[in-house]
Amino acid sequence: MTVLVFGRTGQVAGALARRDEAVRLLGRHDADLEDPETCRAAIRAHPRATAVINAAAWTDVDGAEAHPARVNRINAAAPTAMAEEAAACGLPFLQISTDYVFSGTGSDANHPGDPTGPLSVYGQSKARAEEGIRAAGGAHVILRSSWVFSEYGSNFVTNMLRLSATRRSLNVVKDQIGGPTPADALAEACLTIIGALRATPGLSGTYHFAGQPDVSWADFARAIFREADAPVAVAGIPSAEYPTAAARPLNSRLDCSSTEATFGIVRPDWRTALSGTVAALADRAKERRGA
Ligand SMILES: NC(=O)c1ccc[n+]([C@@H]2O[C@H](COP(=O)([O-])OP(=O)(O)OC[C@H]3O[C@@H](n4cnc5c(N)ncnc54)[C@H](OP(=O)(O)O)[C@@H]3O)[C@@H](O)[C@H]2O)c1
């Protein structure tokens, strides 16, 4: 199996490549998502590919608000073109989507079939991608995840640890609740799902995958500082007191039961992965200091 993965430099694409040597990463040189035609060409250029995963996206949620047309090209038109080309080539296609397609009212976990209602340009673009991919008509899985972290790139864990170098107290929102998801576990889920989809195209559909237990950003931050032995006091504040360019759902809980029932994939405990991530980042910092 040769799995084409868009998003070469991203944290999930990197985790995919580390998990499976059959993964062929595609970066901007292979396809610029601002020009969806280049995505079609990149798939056609790999006639031995057996599946396609899109792990590329404009992921700067606040920055997206000022660039809706560009973000929609990258996050909606490009994955739609990939899904159409994959369908034309008879390849299964997996798109990583997001909890931000939901409006996040109430406190029940969001099910895959629940109505979407994105609050931001980023969320709207990802919801539009979902529609385009379904309409493309090929074997596909839309896998919504949330709060992805790893030792690579810029994510909540790396950002909190960076801040801990200079801060002894931080305000962090306490009323947005979701499941932090280790990038490694998400990558493993993608590979399991794309393999199953290749064997059984009828499994096509929308699924959820997130780490457990669900937690607030404030409690996630406290867990990070505890794990890192960093003396930073976290004050939980309401989102209303932390204005951002993009609105975010308060309830990002994802019901992942259909993913477990269909593919046998269990929600990972993010606390276990967090200790590995923090340890890896500490080792790297030590190496830098020694160098
Ligand atoms: N991070 C989260 O918390 C989270 C939560 C839920 C869902 N997701 C979804 O999960 C997927 C992977 O996320 P991630 O955290 O791994 O993302 P990431 O680390 O921010 O990586 C994004 C990737 O997309 C590429 N990209 C952006 N614009 C591009 C363009 N115009 N042409 C070609 N490549 C482009 C980037 O390439 P460059 O390095 O060249 O810019 C990078 O490789 C995304 O679909 C995201 O929406 C993420």
pLDDT of residue 286: 82
- Are 248 and 153 in contact by the 8 Å Cβ rule? The answer is no
Please report the pLDDT score of residue 104 as a whole number: 95
pLDDT in tens, 36-63: 999 999 999 999 999 999 999 999 999 9
**Contact present, 162 and 139 (Cβ < 8 Å):** no
Q: What is the mean pLDDT of residues 135-163?
A: 96
The model's pTM is: 0.96
CATH class of 3-150+181-210+252-268: alpha beta
- Spatial separation of the C-alpha atoms in residues 61 and 150, rounded to whole Å: 18
CA of 231 to the centre of ligand 1 (A): 31
What's the CA-to-centroid distance between 56 and ligand 1, angstroms? 4
In this prediction, residue 291 has a pLDDT band, given cuts at 50, 70 and 90, of: low
Residue nearest to atom 1 of ligand 1 (CA): 148
Question: Does 193 sit in the ligand 1 pocket, CB within 6 Å?
Answer: no
Distance from chain centroid for Cα 285? 25
Contact 93, 43 (CB under 8 A): no
Residue 155: which pLDDT band, with cuts at 50, 70 and 90? Answer: very high
Ordered by start, the domain boundaries in the chain are: 3-150+181-210+252-268
Please write the tens of the pLDDT for every residue from 89-120: 999 999 999 999 999 999 999 999 999 999 99
Asked if the model's pLDDT at residue 201 lies above 70, the reply is: yes
In the predicted model, is pLDDT for residue 132 greater than 90?
yes
For residue 1, pLDDT beyond 80: no
Distance CA 208, CA 14 (A): 21
